[in-house]
Amino acid sequence: MSEEVKVFGFWCSPFSRRVELALKLKGVQYEYIEEDVFKNKSPLLLKYNPVHKKIPVLLHNGKPIAESLVILEYIEETWKANPILPEDPYEKAMVRFWTKFADEKCLPALWKAGWSPENEREKAVDEACECLKTLESALKGKRFFGGETVGLVDIAANFIAFWLRLIQEATGQELLSAEKFPDLFKWTDEFGSCSVVKESLPPRDKLLAFFKARVAEAMDAQTNASK
Amino acid sequence: MAEEVKLFKTWSTPFGLRVVWALKLKGIQYDAIDEDLSNKSALLLQYNPVYKKVPVLVHNGKPISESLVILEYIDETWKQNPILPQDPLEKARERFWAKFNDEKLLPSIWGVFTKEGKEREEAIADSLENLQFVEEELTGKKFFGGEKIGLADLVFGWLAYLICVFEEVTGLKIIDERFPLLLAWIQEFSELPIIKDNFPPHDKLIIRYQAFYEKYHPAK
């Protein structure tokens, strides 16, 4: 039966890139629709995700699914090639636990540390480093969080492997270093060097420029605020 | 093989209660360990070093934390009376609404309870919008799971016994006649013996939340 798979995404969103990565890992053909999320969301997006009005949305044979982690579980259950979750219920629970931790704790803490004003920065950085340390403990010396192959935790932590490095370059901050987090740093290289992962990342220069523009905006806002 | 199932919780946590409901629904014997969160046990800290929170399920010595992760584990380990459907799209729907409750609805209603002035007005507006989405999801259904309760029902379940406590303590009406389907669902859900037999005692909840309210809204 011919399948219709579409992904509504945004070029620099780690969340829609997670969905694309999972589909590519499983060899699923899909059509990508770029949404102008800041200025002009399409009527289709608003129809398919009326609750959150956000990307990513996966559309499978006309049925929409929203929320990237919900989409990833759906993809895993629908296309069985190259599983991203283990079979054993306890191992699965551990993967879900760490996926939630990466998504709900690490990402917000890292984002905050990158963009917080001067006076809040030290505390934000400390919290972000705590998160990274905790997440690193889940690696246990493995090549990927998923063991020998990329799994759900790796996909959920994509932000750390790629976006974070570029934010660090744009802001001049160094949260994730090889000295402080040797295992996690090594993981970012392993993850980033997978061909399927490389195919599902935004263009490096474009993303770096995007973050540099954000840094400039933030600095302008701070300067104006202190006038 | 003899199974050992333990659940670390408190008497009042809605996150622990959803796990209790799932265990009871499936007829699983377990030991309940009620924690004093002001004096957490060494075992709890050992079993949940990352968050140091309840609930924690320990199955044959192996701990699982985070209530939604625990619920999925329970459903995959004990197959009777499933709380998730087989169909991946239906499963995605249940997971979507479970997340919506935890990430949007519950925080917005808690905001109504804890905030003041303009912030409270915003929390009320958010809550009404969130409740409207939930109301629409119930269209044509007895439960979120359809004819039987499922994951989303257990996760929304706190509405059935805690909203009336919030309303009594704050004097505000949170779920009113604008939400007839939700009110009907609360009624149906609360009539299930497994559900209502495990509601925390109403009077004790009033005392607890009255104390919280006074903390968030100190008399000037």
Taking CB atoms and an 8 Å limit, are B95 and A73 in contact across chains?
yes
- Mean pLDDT confidence for B51-75: 98
From A170, A161, A116, select the one nearest A135 (Cα to Cα): A161
Of the pLDDT bands very low, low, confident and very high (cuts 50, 70, 90), residue A116 is confident
Query: Which residues of chain A have a CB within 8 Å of the CB of B66?
Result: 96-97, 100
Instruction: Give alpha helix (H) positions in B101-157.
Output: 106-114, 117-137, 151-156
Among chain A residues, CA nearest to B136? A51
3-state helix vs strand vs coil in chain B, percent to 5:
60, 10, 35
Name the pTM for this structure.
Answer: 0.96
- Mean pLDDT confidence for B11-38: 97
- Per-residue model confidence as pLDDT tens digits over B86-119: 999 999 999 999 999 999 999 999 999 999 999 9
Is residue B21 less than 8 Å (CB to CB) from chain A?
no
* pLDDT at residue number B182: 98
Query: Does residue B48 contact residue B56 with C-beta atoms inside 8 Å?
Result: yes
- Mean pLDDT confidence for A93-116: 95
Nearest to B99 among A67, A93, A96 (CB): A67
- Per-residue model confidence as pLDDT tens digits over B176-204: 999 999 999 999 999 999 999 999 999 99
Instruction: Kindly tell me if the per-residue pLDDT of A118 is higher than 90.
Output: no
> How many CB pairs below 8 Å do chains A and B form together?
57
Query: Which residues of chain B have a CB within 8 Å of the CB of A96?
Result: 66, 68-69, 72
- Per-residue model confidence as pLDDT tens digits over A28-43: 999 999 999 999 999 9
Strand pairing partners for A6? Answer: A31, A59
Is residue A38 less than 8 Å (CB to CB) from chain B?
no
Of the pLDDT bands very low, low, confident and very high (cuts 50, 70, 90), residue B215 is very high
Query: Which residues of chain A have a CB within 8 Å of the CB of B96?
Result: 65-67, 70
Nearest to A89 among B76, B89, B92 (CB): B76
Average predicted confidence (pLDDT) for chain B: 97
Average predicted confidence (pLDDT) for chain A: 94
* pLDDT at residue number A227: 64
Of the pLDDT bands very low, low, confident and very high (cuts 50, 70, 90), residue A218 is confident
Taking CB atoms and an 8 Å limit, are B70 and A93 in contact across chains?
yes
Under 8 Å CB-to-CB from B173, ≥6 apart: which residues?
A: B167
- Per-residue model confidence as pLDDT tens digits over A150-204: 999 999 999 999 999 999 999 888 999 999 999 999 999 999 999 999 999 999 9
